[in-house]
Amino acid sequence: MSDATHAPEQSGDEPGAGPGPSSLRRRLLWVLVLFVGGGAAAGVLWERLAEPATGLAYEGGWYLEPAGPDLSFQAVALYVVIAFPLGLLLAVLVGRWRGHERVTVLAVLVAAGLGAAAMYAVGHALGPPDPQALAAGSPDYTELPAELGLTAPDRDSVPWHSTALLALPGGAMLGLVGSYLGGNWATARRARG
């Protein structure tokens, strides 16, 4: 047989061929870039809007002044208020791409987790330094701001050990499920009418 009688094989990358391996890789890359870039931008916003609690240096240590949970958790609440809607919005955008839904759900979950970590890392890096380290060399009663973290600014706490990091992935999963369910409902409604 000659080559003219064989139909060309579709690789999946040609228009009208459906989602193929190359388009899936591009989608996964875009999902990753979208969430990590969005998380980094949200980290800048978080740092700009957060007003760090203040404390005093005393005998080489740093103490929150005035003490209280409402002052020490303001940054955590602000993180959640920014991260949850961001995850929701980005997932709705990603959910508009149809095909490979299972892979997309896993990609969004991983990318949203990385985006949450990027948001924390950027905000924390731009925020004030560790007040415990600064208090060690400061005279008593020197006012120092708390570092931007997701836990209470206690001496032994790790600033990123918090369930607040689940806000962006939680919003993303809700947005993706809503996008898939709402998109299917709207498509079925248009098909009937």
* pLDDT digit string, tens, across residues 105-122: 999 999 999 999 999 999
With respect to residue 113, please indicate whether it lies within any of the assigned structural domains: yes
With respect to residue 16, please indicate whether it lies within any of the assigned structural domains: no
With respect to residue 190, please indicate whether it lies within any of the assigned structural domains: no
Q: What pLDDT score does 176 carry?
A: 92
Spans of the chain, pLDDT less than 50: 1-2, 5-18
How far from each other are the two terminal CA atoms of the chain, in whole angstroms? 49
Q: What pLDDT score does 54 carry?
A: 83
Please count the helices (runs of H) and the strands (runs of E) in the chain: 6, 3
With respect to residue 9, please indicate whether it lies within any of the assigned structural domains: no
For residue 133, the enclosing domain spans: 37-184
With respect to residue 5, please indicate whether it lies within any of the assigned structural domains: no
With respect to residue 27, please indicate whether it lies within any of the assigned structural domains: no
Spatial contact of 167 and 131, defined as CB atoms under 8 Å apart: no
Q: Output the pTM of the full model.
A: 0.78
With respect to residue 19, please indicate whether it lies within any of the assigned structural domains: no
Q: How many structural domains are present in the chain?
A: 1
Q: What pLDDT score does 9 carry?
A: 43
